[in-house]
Chain A
Amino acid sequence: MRHIISLLVENEAGALSRISGLFSARGYNIESLTVATTEDHTLSRMTIITTGSDRIIEQITKQLNKLVDVVKLQDFTEGNFIEREMMFVKVKADGESQRAEVKRLSDIFRARIIDVTDTTFCIELTGAGDKLDAYIKAMHENNIVEVVRSGSMGIMRGEKALTL
């Protein structure tokens, strides 16, 4: 099953490699990993998307917790949470009809065109992973020049929070 695990990690050099190293050394899957500092610059917030049986997920969270740099961890999957990912897509936009078609599709997906040239559009889109997948699918494959995805990040709904 797919799990979304959120972590607070010491903002130290090497912390990221400890975490990615753990996943590769123990053969755990890693679908995406995002990381950036928080309002407290001594801490980084990380979101990891992984898949595995219940037993493996249990080991993953235990092994992550064991890392000295990991301050706090939560597996969001059981609870009520919001997951979002951001994507940039550069598409060919040559000629009136193609430009109109891309624009129409982007409106449907509430995507924003953030850069325009004579021949290309650059589009920004935020949403759950499957929405981004759907956009890419809807956009004709031949039109896509480049796709950049951030990987997912998550936050708990309501008053619950992953803080110190």
Chain B
Amino acid sequence: MELSGSEIIIQFLKDEGVKHLFGYPGGAVLHIYDALQKQDDVEHILVRHEQGATHAADGYARATGKPGVCLVTSGPGATNAITGIATAYMDSIPLVVLTGQVPSHAIGSDAFQEVDAVGVSRPCVKHNFLVKDLNKLAETLKKAFYVATTGRPGPVVVDIPKDITAPHIKIPYQYPEKIELRSYNPNFKGHPRQIKRAVELILNAKRPMIYTGGGIILDNASEELRNFVRKLGYPITQTLMGLGAFPGTDPHFIGMLGMHGTYEANMAMHECDVLICIGARFDDRITGVTSKFCPYAQVIHIDIDPASISKTINADIPIVGGAKQVLVELIKQLDQTELKVDKKALDAWWKTIKSWQSQNSFAYEQKKGLIQPQAAIEELYKVTNGDAYITSDVGQHQMYAAQFYHFDEPRRWINSGGLGTMGFGLPAAMGVKLAFPDKDVACVTGEGSIQMCIQELSTCLQYDLPVKIINLNNRYLGMVRQWQEFFYEKRYSHVYMDSLPDFVKLAEAYGHVGILVENPDDLHDAMVEAFKLKDRTVFLDIITDQEANVYPMISAGKAHNEMDISPLQQKVQASLKAKGELV
């Protein structure tokens, strides 16, 4: 088969099983767009901003486990894509981003719309390529998909000069089935002896704690994790990125940990004597000050990336390997060993944990006539039967969603954790809806974040992507306001959202349904209405309590056992302590 570079790209994507391509055209990719127009195996989604393309592809990847694919033009197209590429990089999401480049002979001449895409993207990609030879195009694309999806996944950029895609230059094409890179070997298998040592430590624990993260979801290891936890009967906490891998409603799960995690999860982290970490990276949002982190614990750390291990917290038993493979091996060895779980110690440990749980650290105060943001998420959870795909933006609303939507399945909770990118939620929801047209997909957002990629409402209409936008409108850059309230004596500096648009009219202008909810009594009906309108994008503008804060919270420099709890909680804690019911 003789194909041009542009045709090779399209044919390769088909052969690679890519169904959707998120993109935006421009001069450097005109040849590719011409080839796209002549076929309909790969569906192109025209976004309204290249950032939207990368987030949509990212949402698609997080929800399906398949790589997300984008196509953007040179110069501004490539730079607009950078935020989305960095977002995917920080959360280890497989993306392949094709960027057009000026013709080879013009590279380096400050040509029209020239930017060094390989150089600009280098610090936020897993790897990138500049295609210099048409004969290497197919092989390079294969390498890109291989690198993006294996080992610790991540985004890969392929920069393609315009002359490489010229329609009149044709070469033989064959899909490269397999590729090998001598410099890249992503297949790590946990060392059997280390796993044996881990099993011994796990079974010797008196106060064990399992702490898992995004690695479980990336490796599709939920089933194995569930078996592992239930076999041991140990408590488990998950990071923001790990939610859903282990069911949020299972009693072994004691809530998210870290800055806005539950009181019990953080207390258990502080007091545990053995910490079993699988596919999490001891991020600073969860460790707080490292010197005070888990002072009594021996740490087992299982991760596919050797660089994650002992990066911030020293691992006593490091195991480099895929989460799934190591869990299978751990379960096998647990079945074979003579050692037993220390039942008595475990019962006592659970008793302590239950006493921490009894104070219900997420409880919040109702105020008459005001919608509490937490209540809106609780309503969302009820109305969708806990079965929706929830994307989110960044801020207080993100934390409320993580705290109050109890994800029972992996890949249902889709948010930007590592980079914390406002503007992620809506385009990500589009990507999810495209993958799962029959599922409920909601984007939990704030009036600040939604305005960062609101143009994608137009894409939702064009491609019939009826997502629900749950806008927790507190008229503040709430998360920033909260920090200014706590740490800057309420000096609110540039966090007030003045001159907000009328979101209902805005949604209508984009051809969608807008519903304003101001009264707590209307919340339920509005939510039901929004999800009843199956084939419409609905913008629920929910006016929430302006001054609501996210609790509990670990402030800078504090340890897990030094959480700040809400004023309501302080009362509850005092009364529990008075009754001697709190350890």
In the bound assembly, the distance between CA atoms of A59 and B184 in angstroms comes to 18
A59 B123 Cβ-Cβ under 8 A:
no
Question: In the docked arrangement, what's the CA distance between A164 and B183, Å?
Answer: 10
CB contacts (< 8 Å) of B307 on chain A: these are: 59, 62-63, 65-66
List residues of chain B with CB within 8 A of the CB of A55: 310
- Chain B, range 95-141, C-beta contacts under 8 Å to A: 118-119, 122-123, 126-128, 130
Which single residue of chain A is at the shortest CB-CB distance from B306? A62
Q: Which residues of A contact B311 (CB under 8 A)?
A: 59
How does the 8 Å CB contact mask read for A122-164 relative to B, with 1 for contact and 0 for none? Answer: 0000000000000000000000000000000000000000001
Complex Cα distance A21/B121, Å? 11
Residues 105-130 of A at the B interface (beta carbon under 8 Å): none
- Whether, in the assembled complex, A1 has its beta carbon less than 8 Å from a beta carbon of chain B, the answer is no
Structural contact, A21 and B306, CB atoms closer than 8 A? no
Q: Is the Cβ of B310 less than 8 Å from the Cβ of A68?
A: no
Q: Is the CB–CB distance between B119 and A17 below 8 Å?
A: yes
- With an 8 Å Cβ cutoff, the count of chain B residues facing the other chain is 18
Q: Among B118, B122, B183, which residue has the most Cβ atoms of chain A within 10 A?
A: B183
Task: Looking at the assembled complex, report how far the CB atom of A15 sits from the nearest CB atom of chain B, in whole angstroms.
Answer: 10
Residues 297 to 322 of chain B near chain A (Cβ within 8 Å): 305-307, 310-311
With A66-B305, A66-B307 given, is the CB distance from A21 to B183 under 8 Å?
Answer: no
Q: Which residues of B contact A13 (CB under 8 A)?
A: 130
Known interface pairs A58-B310, A59-B311, A65-B306; A10-B183 also in contact (CB < 8 Å): yes
Q: Say yes or no for A14: interface residue by CB 8 A criterion.
A: yes
Interface residue? B147 (CB, 8 A): yes
CB-based nearest A residue for B123: A25
Contacts of B143-170 to chain A: CB distance below 8 A: 147
A-B contact number at CB 8 A: 37
CA distance A9 to B181 in the complex (A): 12
B178 located at the interface, meaning its Cβ lies under 8 Å from any Cβ of chain A in the complex: no
Point out the residues of chain A lying under 8 angstroms from B122, CB to CB: 14, 17-18, 21
Question: 1/0 contact trace for A50-91 toward B, CB 8 Å?
Answer: 000001001100110110111100000000000000000000
Q: Does B182 belong to the interface (CB within 8 Å)? A: yes
Docked CA distance A21–B183 (Å): 19
Expressed in whole angstroms, the minimum distance between the Cβ of A33 and any Cβ of chain B is 17
Cα distance, A25 to B305, chains bound together (Å): 19
Given contacts A68-B181, A164-B182, contact A14 B130 (CB under 8 A): yes
Interface residues of A in 1-32 (CB under 8 A from B): 9-10, 13-14, 17-18, 21, 25
CB distance from B96 to the nearest CB of A (A): 14
Distance in Å: Cβ of A11 to nearest Cβ of chain B: 11
Please, which residues of chain B bring their CB within 8 A of the CB of A17? 119, 122
Given contacts A25-B123, A59-B311, A62-B306, is CB(A71)–CB(B118) below 8 Å? no
Contacts of A66 in B (CB 8 A): 305-307
A52 to chain B, nearest CB (A): 14
Is A71 a contact partner of B183 (Cβ separation < 8 A)?
Answer: yes
For B147, the chain A residues whose CB sits under 8 A away are 68
Q: Which residue of A lies closest to B152 (CB)?
A: A66
Contact A69 B183 (CB under 8 A): yes
Q: Residues of A contacting B130 with CB < 8 Å?
A: 13-14
Q: Is the CB of A21 within 8 A of B127?
A: no
Residue of A9, A10, A14, A25 touching B118 (CB-CB under 8 A): A14
Cβ–Cβ < 8 Å partners of B128 in chain A:
14
CB distance from A27 to the nearest CB of B (A): 13
Q: Is the CB of A68 within 8 A of B183?
A: yes
In angstroms, Cα B545 to Cα A65, docked, is: 50
Identify B184's interface contact among A25, A58, A68, CB under 8 A.
Answer: A68
Q: Which residue from chain B places its CB closest to the CB of A13 in the assembled complex?
A: B130
The reply to whether A71 and B123 form a contact with Cβ atoms under 8 Å apart is no
Cβ contact within 8 Å between B127 and A68:
yes
What distance in Å separates the Cβ of B69 from its nearest Cβ neighbour in chain A? Answer: 19
CA distance A65 to B118 in the complex (A): 20
The CA of A68 and the CA of B182, in the complex, are separated in Å by 9
Enumerate chain B residues within 8 angstroms of A9, measured Cβ to Cβ. 183
Q: By the criterion CB–CB under 8 Å, are A71 and B310 in contact?
A: no
Measured between alpha carbons, how far is A68 from B180 in the docked complex, in Å?
Answer: 12
Quick one: which of B172-219 are within 8 Å of A by CB?
Answer: 181-184
- In the assembly, what is the distance between CA of A128 and CA of B461, in Å? 69
The smallest C-beta distance from A5 to any residue of chain B, in angstroms, reads: 15
In the bound complex, do residue A71 and residue B119 qualify as a contact, i.e. CB atoms below 8 Å apart? no
Taking the nearest CB of chain B, how far is it from the CB of A6, in angstroms?
15
> A14-B118, A14-B130, A66-B305 known; A21 and B123 CB under 8 Å?
yes
**Beta-carbon contact of A70 and B183 below 8 Å:** yes
Which chain A positions have C-beta within 8 A of B182?
A: 71, 164
**Alpha-carbon distance A66/B89, docked complex (angstroms):** 14
**Chain A residues whose C-beta falls within 8 Å of the C-beta of B184 in the assembled complex:** 68
Residues of chain B contacted by A14 (CB below 8 angstroms):
118-119, 122, 128, 130
In the complex, chain B residues whose CB is within 8 Å of the CB of A164: 182
With both beta carbons as reference points, the residue of chain B lying nearest to A60 in the complex is identified as B307
In the complex, A153 Cα to B387 Cα: how many Å?
59
- A66, B305: Cα distance in complex, Å: 8
**In the complex the two chains form, what is the Cα distance from A152 to B137 in whole Å?**
38
Query: In the complex, which residues of chain B have a beta carbon less than 8 angstroms from the beta carbon of A68?
Result: 126-127, 147, 181, 183-184
Q: Which residue of B lies closest to A63 (CB)?
A: B307
> Chain A residue with minimal CB distance to B143?
A68
Greatest chain B CB density within 10 A among A9, A58, A66 is at A66
B309 to chain A, nearest CB (A): 8
A62 to B128 CA separation, bound complex (whole angstroms): 19
Q: Which residue of A lies closest to B156 (CB)?
A: A68
Q: How far is the CA of A63 from the CA of B311 in the complex (A)?
A: 10
Nearest residue, chain B, Cβ from A26? B123
CA distance A40 to B310 in the complex (A): 35
Residues of B within 8 A of A25 (CB): 123
Q: How far is the CA of A14 from the CA of B182 in the complex (A)?
A: 17
CB distance from B184 to the nearest CB of A (A): 5
- Complex CA distance for A134 and B63, rounded to whole angstroms: 62
A63 to B126, CA, bound (A): 11
Can you name 9 A-B residue pairings with CB atoms under 8 Å? Answer: A9-B183, A14-B118, A17-B122, A25-B123, A55-B310, A63-B307, A68-B127, A70-B183, A71-B182
New A-B pairs, 16, CB < 8 Å, besides A65-B307, A66-B305, A71-B182: A14-B128, A17-B122, A18-B122, A58-B310, A59-B311, A62-B306, A65-B306, A66-B306, A66-B307, A68-B126, A68-B127, A68-B147, A68-B183, A69-B183, A71-B183, A164-B182
List of 7 A-B pairs having minimum Cβ-Cβ separation, nearest first: A62-B307, A71-B183, A68-B127, A68-B184, A62-B306, A25-B123, A63-B307
